[in-house]
Structure 1
């Protein structure tokens, strides 16, 4: 699961003790493009809403303000190829394992497309998960970055920016408590300006790191885990209602002896039943940590430490 980029970056971590900054946000918000722009990495980028980031990966290390920096690329909680449960398990595994080895984040960047005319349910879900992962104590180490300014009329973009800053259900509470909002113009200069807000911070543990490591909580019992579970339960409830409605339609079609309608509606009902089963599967598997992956990551970190001490 962890790529060669991650392995190389872990070597840099052990040798240089760099500044670690995580980059999060919805799929297609420009996380990987931002990372490649500033670090010179060649991580795969997504096109539109199709994700290429389906694992936690690290950038090449680079120097900024006389500090060695490594950026952490993460999949969004709306990934087209993996479930929210798997995304959470992946991020939780990486963050908890590195925290156990003594590594904390100096900052977290949350990317948001300024091109979005409205903040939809997917974007709000991603930010809710972001808040649960980070907690309240790390807000001063968070920068919300609005992206893709070259694709929007400047005046309209400024209006949307103000809407985002004053939305009580989105960014206003975190900005009020110490987070910062900055623009990214898809240039190295603006990327550097953003990172300069974070590179000199004192590294802090995220809430999920404290929960998993310090408090020894199961992933399902963390704030982020409970949020994923809540959404899965809501999804199951919605699909069950749809199944119930379709069952009534099948009964009506049977009374009318409409065999074709019965078949079509039954096939549609089967799809919703499969979605219910998938949601339950995701709920059941949230707590099943991949111990093999954890051991591999731990071993990799330890071997790198030993190599650098020789």
Structure 2
């Protein structure tokens, strides 16, 4: 006994097309983020805190999309889309933990930029190797214990009806619709956790960038201002894409939820945003592009 993922069964004629699209997007995500990780490991010019956190972020993106996309691809090519309660709970748990990790890691990356631009002389002292490792470890580990209890609470409720999950993975809100117990406490907990792990980090990031922009505008050199803006703009774009879709998904009123909109928003922050992240960070970063050219030239010569 378990749940049945309807996925995109409402568009049977597009199953093959959707499989091809999502497979291409998944490959782009894997290749783009893997390239970033490799470049940061092999190029000495990228051995600094900003790229250390970017390497962590790229590793996280690979894990994050791998929780949902491989299962989606399998469901698009087979008739049986059953998933056990344990399998569904496991997918939901890792999706939530990695999502929280991404929120916190983006916040830490904003703090890194804040220190680099607002306190450049103290930057090497503040953002030392020990602190960077501690911050990264904290981002990866913070959500682990919280979501064990949260996931257990959801799956301890009785499930009723057709057990048909009108979604392409075990997200919180679609699964909650299939339960028949009292969900008030869990719904309150969802809003509390959303505020703690999405809204507050988002506010901290915005506060950091208010100070960053204020500092950049005071720089005497136009070249310095342009360089500072270029290092921050890519991170700010990723923040807007990820947090924007997450806040709309989990904080909008229950009455405004619809299957089509929920699925679209989920696709946006689980597949589309991770696909664009490597492009945003690489194409808008001159230091990375220089390192990439050297790396490619080295391999071409060999």
Which of the pair has the greater relative contact order for Cα pairs under 8 Å at 6+ separation? 2
- Normalized per residue, the structure richer in strand is 1
- Normalized per residue, the structure richer in helix is 2
Confirm or deny a common fold (TM above 0.5).
no
Instruction: Tell me the TM-score normalized by structure 2.
Output: 0.34
Instruction: Tell me the TM-score normalized by structure 1.
Output: 0.33
